[in-house]
Chain A
């Protein structure tokens, strides 16, 4: 039986890591042998191409496909590092209103013929761009950070997803700082989960390596030795496919003599 999953990655609030999650999750799923297409639904402010390092290979966008100016496969940018992964780029010089929910459904429907996973990277906000992004989705990954503003927006988005019949929702808590949680200066995973009441899919610790990976346009999943954040995303990809993977240990190691010594040089 063909196994098709259509998943929107959304958050309400901007800057919490939706696009980074989409890029890395797409890469992780592709690496595990699934055929994956990631759709940039952020028309006018596209960035998924940059995070994947595919920005200079874009010729056509989703809008050109809809206008009949090219076939769908011509617009897809195939990742040379990971042949199972393709990107459907958004147009950069247009607005969120340049595409409709029905058109998005049409694109996704065609893509499910050739791909096991269709990941849709939603724009921030809850307006037209968001409506387009969720239109075709059957599952949702809510990305949030342990900050009150992000969690508040996530609550709103969860309500909207329910109202639009996207019932299979899972939560990713991004940019958690274990030391702050331990010092009781940041909401814990449990705190956030209590408020959102959505099943937890994973926790990604705050990791400087994410900045480096973004700078280079090389998703964390491509690293030979996975960083903490890379491991977290890789675990998320496995859980998404039904595997039971325990949450990684994010407790802060007790200071040894050497770590104390190193702090002196930090």
Chain B
């Protein structure tokens, strides 16, 4: 309560989500408006990473790669945090290694579904008073 009061008085030190919202909105709108398909953007990203990774070791978790636009133009913004430089650059055809997941294919074979979906009334038995 008291801290609330002081926050009101002096302004909160929490990061303001309003700016985050504006930033994120600009970003998605740039993507929605651009004619680059997500696949091509991904290819572009891969290729840029490949080139950069030959010379420096990148922190793959901290990568940012996005389109941003204001009213006039769209820009490609890349933020590629460097772990360390490579003393000898890698060969031109070494690809970036990224984790892959188990494959899920579309098929027509039936799947075991749980046939005992609980009675709605049973789980939703909430005392109202």
Tell me the A residues contacting B by CB distance below 8 Å.
1-6, 50, 53, 55-56, 58-61, 64-66, 69, 71-73, 76, 78, 92-93, 106-107, 109-114, 138-139, 167-171, 189-190, 193, 198-202, 211-212, 214-217, 239-242, 244-247, 258-259, 262, 265
Point out the residue from A73, A93, A193, A212 that lies within 8 Å of B102, measured CB to CB. Answer: A73
Contacts A78-B101, A167-B120, A170-B120 aside, 16 further interface pairs with beta carbons under 8 A come to A1-B114, A58-B38, A109-B110, A110-B106, A110-B107, A112-B113, A138-B113, A139-B117, A170-B124, A190-B128, A211-B17, A216-B17, A241-B123, A244-B125, A247-B126, A258-B1
Interface code B1-26, partner A: CB below 8 Å = 1, 0 otherwise? Answer: 10011001000000001101100100
Contact in complex: A59, B42 (CB < 8 Å):
yes
Contact in complex: B5, A262 (CB < 8 Å):
yes
Q: What CA separation (Å) do A43 and B32 show in the bound complex?
A: 13
CB-CB < 8 A to A244: which residues of B? 125-126
Contact in complex: B112, A114 (CB < 8 Å):
no
Interface code B80-96, partner A: CB below 8 Å = 1, 0 otherwise? Answer: 00000000000000000
Contact in complex: A189, B128 (CB < 8 Å):
yes
Chain B interface size range: 35 or more
Contact in complex: B17, A212 (CB < 8 Å):
yes
CB-CB < 8 A to B102: which residues of A? 73, 114
Tell me the B residues contacting A by CB distance below 8 Å.
1, 4-5, 8, 17-18, 20-21, 24, 27-28, 31-32, 38-39, 41-42, 64-66, 101-108, 110-114, 117-128
Q: What CA separation (Å) do A193 and B125 show in the bound complex?
A: 13
Contact in complex: A200, B24 (CB < 8 Å):
no
Contact in complex: A110, B28 (CB < 8 Å):
no
Contact in complex: B114, A3 (CB < 8 Å):
yes
B117 to chain A, nearest CB (A): 5
A85 to chain B, nearest CB (A): 14
Q: What CA separation (Å) do A91 and B101 show in the bound complex?
A: 22
Contact in complex: B39, A93 (CB < 8 Å):
no
CB-CB < 8 A to A56: which residues of B? 27, 31, 64-66
A-B contact pairs, 12 of them (CB 8 A): A50-B28, A55-B24, A64-B39, A72-B104, A76-B101, A106-B106, A109-B111, A199-B124, A200-B124, A201-B126, A239-B123, A265-B5
